[in-house]
Structure formats: C-alpha cells, structure tokens
Structure 1
Amino acid sequence: MALKFELVTPARLERSIEVYMVTVPGAEGDFSVLEGHAPFMATLRNAPLTIYATQGAAPEVIEVEGGFAEVNESGLTVLAEHIAS
C-alpha cells in the first residue's frame, strides 16, 4: 500500500509518485500523511517538505514556499507557490 503524492507549482506538475509518507510544513505545524489519512486541507508555511519513498528510507527534502495541501481519498496534493530547485 502506498500514498499517491503530487507536488504542483504554478509552472508545472513537479512530482506524481507513490510514496510511504510525506511530512508537510503546515502553517499551524508540521503534519505527516500516510495512505488512508483522513481528508483535510491546510495552508503551508515556508519550510522543508520531507518525502519518504519507503518505510525507513532516507528522506528527500524539498523547500516549499507558501501554498496549500489537500488530503483526500486519492492521496496528497501539495500546491506550492514556489519550490527551491
């Protein structure tokens, strides 16, 4: 079982992959999303987004600046205003 994760910027779809877990920098604090997470939306703060491809894997870190995150039955979508490249 895996979490469908998409990272989108105004310019393009940056990632569309299946992962184990993503830790998101919410405006009210970090939160981690696994497959089957309850649906919700949150605004983002400027901070690192951490992606774990598999359980126990070394994380991939992407700096995001502003935006929103939505968790629904399809997975996690992060709509970032900007990401560090």
Structure 2
Amino acid sequence: MAAKMQFDLVSPERRLASMAVDAVQIPAADGDMTAMADHAPLITTLRPGVLRVDGAESGAETAYFITGGFADVAGPAITVLAEQAMPASEVTADVMDGFISQARAAHDKLRDGDAGQPGLDAAAKLVADLEMAKSQLVG
C-alpha cells in the first residue's frame, strides 16, 4: 500500500480540499510533475491547468482547474495556493471561454504595443495553457 500524504488546496475564496492522498499531479510552470509521499522538498510556481489528485478517501481521481499559484511540497504534505481554483465538475465551456478571452485581450494589447514588449511570450503561453486546460476539461 502506497504511503499517504496530506494534500491541501486553497484559493483566496475558499479551501477546496484537505485530505490524505497517494499522489498529486501538478501543472508546474516548468512542466507537469507528480508529487508523492517522501518527495524531495520544493516550491514551484504553477501555470493554468488541471491538478489531479489520486488515492483520496473516495478512491476516485479528483480533478481541479487552477489558474496559477504556488505548490509547496514538503515530504509528507503538499499545499497548493491557487490564484483561482474550482473543481473540474464546476468548469464549463463558458467559464473557460471567459478566461481565454481575458488572456487573449491582454496578449493583443501587448502585441499591438511597441516592438519587443516585455511579457508578450508569457501572454501567448497563458492563452495556450488555458486552451489546453479547456480541451482537457470540456473537450
């Protein structure tokens, strides 16, 4: 039996999860990663994406959409501090289209500005990350 670790997911609006789990798949800024019990300690920034939790009390995989934030992995515990988060079951195409529309508007504003505008690549990546999350959550 795999060792359990404590998982907590909080956003400014609410605590979404606090449970013992086997593993957490994290959309880290530098690539997806899976944290398990006894993982090396680390703090990483998060990109928009789907955070998946395996081995919760219900036995089923639980998924959440997050817009970014930080994950603190410390051996027997992982805490995710999300900018915005919601259970995947609450995500609709309209919700995702709203996030994508805001990101595209910010990207277009930067693109139409002076050449070499800082943040243009990051804005384009944000749009791409949100589109990928939408395809994973609502097709």
Same fold (TM over 0.5): yes
Q: What pairs with 1:2-41 in structure 2 (closer than 5 Å)?
A: 2-41=4-43
Larger radius of gyration: 2
Structure 2 residues not aligned, in runs of 5+: 91-139
Distance 1:12 1:59 in 2: 21
Counterpart of 2:77 in structure 1 is: 75
Q: What is the number of residues matched between the two proteins? A: 83
More strand by share: 1
TM-score (norm 1): 0.88
Identity of aligned residues (%): 36
Is 1:59 aligned to 2:66, yes or no?
A: no
Q: CA RMSD in A?
A: 1.5
Structure scoring higher RCO (CA < 8 A, sep ≥ 6) equals 1
| Letter paired with 1:3 | M
The structure whose residues are more often helix, as a share, is: 2
Contact between 2:4 and 2:76, CA under 8 Å: does it hold in 1?
no
Unaligned runs of at least 5 residues, structure 1: none
| TM-score, structure 2 as length reference | 0.56
- CA distance in 1 between partners of 2:33 and 2:42 (Å): 11
| Correspondences of 1:36-51 after superposition (within 5 Å) | 36-51=38-53
Deviation at 1:59, TM superposition (A): 2.0
Contact 2:38 2:76 in 1 (8 A): no
Q: Secondary structure at the match of 1:38?
A: strand
Cα deviation for residue 60 of structure 1 reads: 1.6
- Matches of 1:67 and 1:6 in 2, distance apart? 13
